Structure 1
């Protein structure tokens, strides 16, 4: 892995109030025809400071996209609260419209995000028109395209999505978010659909936007390698909860949770044998007792948890919800026992 971004601006480090925060957030969905409800997000505390990039990491089905939608106001929490700039998020249409002027979404598939019948100019100007912008629309669109790395911007005004490369389409999507001058963007797998040669360019763009505009970002990804290259802090999700969090250096160079260790083990640059997780993937309708990961845990399966004296707790004793503090935290009986023994 290459060097991570320097100069973390996390809440704990800066001492400032978070820009975006989630407090004990839960999102459940009713089951079909009497089946159990799905606890997609089941108690999450998460803060993002001004100018900070946080990576939300986990495999498919862990709840990270539902959490992102709740933070965007696209999904109303069952319980808990989302706050922005110190104020609780309201869910009437006027308040949400104002909120989405300050927080924008960047999706993973630029082809699906862009209307094939709309020119680049129309795609980027759409947000301005929705929000009733009364200034110089052409200048604003040109500025957004230029910031997204499409220069000279006028050369792209009349092009259609099919005339652009994948990287250029993603830059158009980013320009569509930037045109409203947001304070925070939520990027859901922002480079997953791009060729490897283009991914670095888009990540470098996101970092430059943070430097130039003070932009905050939540980057939703299954790729810990991406997190290493872009994030200040990492939150690892499993089955609706954050199971490990801390600075990118703390989590990715010294992972404490067996799930994080398994995710890291399959990276090309990882040392040792990759950990192959057995058992069923996360199912939010069937949350097991004890540690949510215990049925797939390589530490429990190997007998190491038994030797440490925590195997029974792993299977039966539920772990507390991690706080939103910027310090390194882990929800794992085995990791806690190890820390206690070494302390």
Structure 2
């Protein structure tokens, strides 16, 4: 991946929150390399509490990293108030719960126009709001101007939230669980809308989700996150049809169409203030528990040696000693 093709990039990103009463800091994001190309949709996948939302907030400039850096359009993110205001016009957030995102006292028109007013838009506000609503699939837009959120369906509310992001003509959308609160019948419509916006406007998107099925339907690439770090990344077909990390395999095994029995992971993810030594997944890893890692000669490394950070450019796309040992043992392709 060339630098010119990248719109957003995180390099060695870390976000730690101080512990109380002298407790260790919680390492919510603990060394992440991630890149999003222009016109690309990347899915960030993992369990609740793995650091996905904190990573997304740090990419938006809402949380300042403890270490590492965020680059947008090749330039490091500037955290001054003026620079962040300009940045957030180019990078917009779409939240999970449209009911919580919309002020119940504001009409649809005011909700969509709010961003224009914050950024001092000097053009035709009514035309810009109408175009954004239309692009979001609310047509004719004028029919929705004076409606309030409680008068809309869940799918319509999510479209209003998307219109509020589109009205500023951003280059990148960060969508945090954009369909998690919607009925199954509406989910496909919103996903199709995001794909259409990428095609029509050249938008890039980071879609944060716990659902690998959603990633399959919408993403070009997927990054699987566990305990503050991306453990596997690659093209979506590659990762989801031939997963290499045991954690990715476990997430995929619970999908309804997955072959075989679901892989049940023992326990909860460890406390991010007490990350285990070695591979951070080893305390829950079914490959280690079954003896497969021992047979591959990597069990000690799993417990004691950090497998590293998968590179944003595709180098070492999996953080797993067992996966590396299997790759090394595989016969070369003819």
Q: Is the pair's TM-score, using the shorter chain for normalization, greater than 0.5?
A: yes
Match status 1:99 vs 2:87: yes
Q: 2:212 aligns with which of 211, 216, 224?
A: 224
Q: Are the counterparts in 1 of residues 310 and 316 from structure 2 also a CA contact under 8 Å?
A: no
Q: Distance between the aligned counterparts of 1:233 and 1:95, measured in 2?
A: 29
Report what 2:318 is aligned to.
Answer: 330
Displacement, 1:83?
Answer: 0.7
Match status 1:250 vs 2:238: yes
TM-score, scaled to structure 2: 0.98
Q: Are the counterparts in 2 of residues 247 and 326 from structure 1 also a CA contact under 8 Å?
A: no
Report what 2:282 is aligned to.
Answer: 294
Match status 1:164 vs 2:152: yes
Displacement, 1:34?
Answer: 1.6
Displacement, 1:282?
Answer: 3.8
Q: 2:296 aligns with which of 308, 312, 334?
A: 308
When structure 1 is superposed on structure 2, of 128-137 and 27-36 the one drifting more is 27-36
Gapped regions of structure 2 (runs ≥ 5) = none
Q: Distance between the aligned counterparts of 1:250 and 1:205, measured in 2?
A: 24
Report what 1:127 is aligned to.
Answer: 115
Q: 2:261 aligns with which of 273, 278, 286?
A: 273
Q: Are the counterparts in 2 of residues 247 and 327 from structure 1 also a CA contact under 8 Å?
A: no
Tell me, what secondary structure is at the counterpart of 1:291?
coil
Tell me, what secondary structure is at the counterpart of 2:214?
helix
Tell me, what secondary structure is at the counterpart of 1:329?
coil
Match status 1:259 vs 2:251: no
Q: Distance between the aligned counterparts of 2:314 and 2:290, measured in 1?
A: 32
Tell me, what secondary structure is at the counterpart of 1:209?
helix
Match status 1:193 vs 2:181: yes
Q: Distance between the aligned counterparts of 2:305 and 2:316, measured in 1?
A: 22
Q: Are the counterparts in 1 of residues 227 and 269 from structure 2 also a CA contact under 8 Å?
A: no
Report what 1:112 is aligned to.
Answer: 100
Q: Are the counterparts in 2 of residues 257 and 335 from structure 1 also a CA contact under 8 Å?
A: yes
When structure 1 is superposed on structure 2, of 317-326 and 93-102 the one drifting more is 317-326
Displacement, 1:328?
Answer: 6.9
Q: Distance between the aligned counterparts of 1:155 and 1:173, measured in 2?
A: 16
Report what 2:54 is aligned to.
Answer: 66
After superposition, the C-alpha distances for 1:231-251 in whole angstroms (9 at most, x for unaligned) are: 000000011111000000110
Q: 2:194 aligns with which of 184, 187, 206?
A: 206
Q: Distance between the aligned counterparts of 1:244 and 1:236, measured in 2?
A: 5
Q: Distance between the aligned counterparts of 2:138 and 2:58, measured in 1?
A: 31
Displacement, 1:283?
Answer: 2.0
Q: Distance between the aligned counterparts of 2:325 and 2:316, measured in 1?
A: 16
Gapped regions of structure 1 (runs ≥ 5) = 1-10
Q: Provide the aligned length of Structure 1 versus Structure 2.
A: 331
